[in-house]
Amino acid sequence: MLKYALLGYLNYHDSTGYDLKHEIDQSTGMIWHAKQSQIYTTLKALEKEKLIQSHIEPGEGKPDRRVYQITEEGRIDLKRWLAEPVTELNQLKDSLLLKLFFSGSQPAADLIAQLHLQKILYQEQLTRLDELEAHVANLVQMMPDFRRDFLLWEAIRQYGVSYTRNYLNWIDSTITRLETNFED
């Protein structure tokens, strides 16, 4: 799957493993993330499959950069994947919720503290997503040819916002429930 995320980005423009990491962190990071090391190894695998090709750009003073470019086979493979419908539900994995599920014997105060900590993290995430809005809106102005792409990017960003708000609401209502029903 990371494979297709990388092909997707390289379909827009050539890039390096380093830059792709930043691009992912700032846009699809919310819905698909990867570590730097995995990006490097996946790019290497993609090149072996001839879906992308690379060349070295010497860095002046800075390290050399390996710049990847999508090939015709790569574009075909990406389009094939895009046309293929997703026929299954996405499966969540959420370790906070898993831990809470088994936390019936933990002190109520600890659980509430845990939820307060997570609340801060989700609030920060919401702020980051809000900041992204202006950025996406700006791109639409600059590149009208990509109107459809921006529309989808904005839809995904809004998914992130609603997901995060939902999480925050759930945290609040759970804190309240614990405070009122979890006494000893």
Partner DNA sequence: GAATACATGTAAAATGTTACATGATTTT
Partner DNA sequence: AAAATCATGTAACATTTTACATGTATTC
Q: 150 and 136 in contact (C-beta within 8 Å)?
A: yes
Shortest reach from residue 94's CB to a copy of itself, in Å: 5
> Per the structure block, which two tokens stand in for 19?
């830059």
Residue 114 binds: one of a copy of itself, DNA, none (C-beta under 5 to 8 A by kind): a copy of itself
Q: Is the dihedral of CA 160, 162, 163, 169 positive or negative?
A: positive
Residue 176 binds: one of a copy of itself, DNA, none (C-beta under 5 to 8 A by kind): none
Residue from 17, 27, 51, 77 that binds DNA (CB under 7 A)? 17
28 binds DNA (CB under 7 A): no
**DSSP secondary structure letters along 95-154:** HHHHHHHT-TTS-HHHHHHHHHHHHHHHHHHHHHHHHHHHHHHHHHHH-GGGHHHHHHHH
1 binds DNA (CB under 7 A): yes
58 binds DNA (CB under 7 A): no
Residue from 13, 35, 55, 99 that binds DNA (CB under 7 A)? 35
